[in-house]
Structure 1
Amino acid sequence: MTMVHERTRSVVQTRDFLRDLSRDSSLPESIRLQAERLLRHYPKAADIWLAGRLEERRREELSLLADKHGPLHPALGCWLAADPLFCDESSNSSSTTEID
């Protein structure tokens, strides 16, 4: 099972990989153009880290709300039960480590 910091690192490094592909003149033009098209809408690292911070903050706030007012509505409670999609950059100790 993929850990949240591994998933976050992979998404961030994929952007770098696509950028490298788009600039590699030894590759066919069709590959470089496809990488450029994908990059156009691909999130930047800062956007991924922000998403992770927002998820952590949401969990903290919902936990406080549950502690203060008792059980949450199921629509809110399911957010606490779900694993986060991304993590904050500070939680990602190996953010610059290359994936093997």
Structure 2
Amino acid sequence: MTLPYERTRSVVLTKDFLTRLSQDTALPESIRDEARQLLRHYPSKHEVLQAGRNEEQSPGGVLSQAVFSSKMER
């Protein structure tokens, strides 16, 4: 089972990875273009952590299980 902080860390690190891919001139242009397209609407680290804070502060019962965490580590 994936915990919210693990999911948060994965989403944040995936954005970093896509950013590196989009800038790597050793890769084909089609790969870099696809990475840039995916990044266009990808949430920032701040947005993901804010979503975690919102979920942690929501009254019980709104979400059955938190998706994100306000932290990237336990």
TM-score of the two chains, using structure 2 as the length reference: 0.91
1:3-22 equivalences in 2 (<5 Å): 3-22=3-22
For 1:40-74, what per-residue CA distance to the aligned partner results, in whole angstroms no more than 9, with x for missing partners? 1000000000000001111xxx25xxxxxxxxxxx
Runs of 4+ aligned residues of structure 1 deviating over 6 Å after TM superposition are none
Alignment of 1:13-52 (within 5 A): 13-52=13-52
The share of aligned pairs that are identical, in percent, is 50
2:73 — aligned with what?
Answer: 93
Q: Distance in 1 between matches of 2:44 and 2:12?
A: 7
Higher relative contact order (CA 8 A, sep 6+): 2
C-alpha separation in 2, matches of 1:38 and 1:93: 25
The CA deviation at 1:93 is: 2.5
RMSD over aligned Cα atoms: 1.4
What do residues 66-92 of structure 1 show as CA deviations (whole Å, max 9, x unaligned)? xxxxxxxxxxx3x25x11000002xx3
**Contiguous gaps of at least 5 residues in structure 2:** none
**TM-score normalised according to structure 1 size:** 0.69
State which structure, 1 or 2, has the greater radius of gyration over its C-alpha atoms: 1
Higher helix share: 1
Q: CA deviation at 1:3?
A: 1.1
- How many residues matched? 74
Q: Which amino acid aligns with 2:42?
A: Y
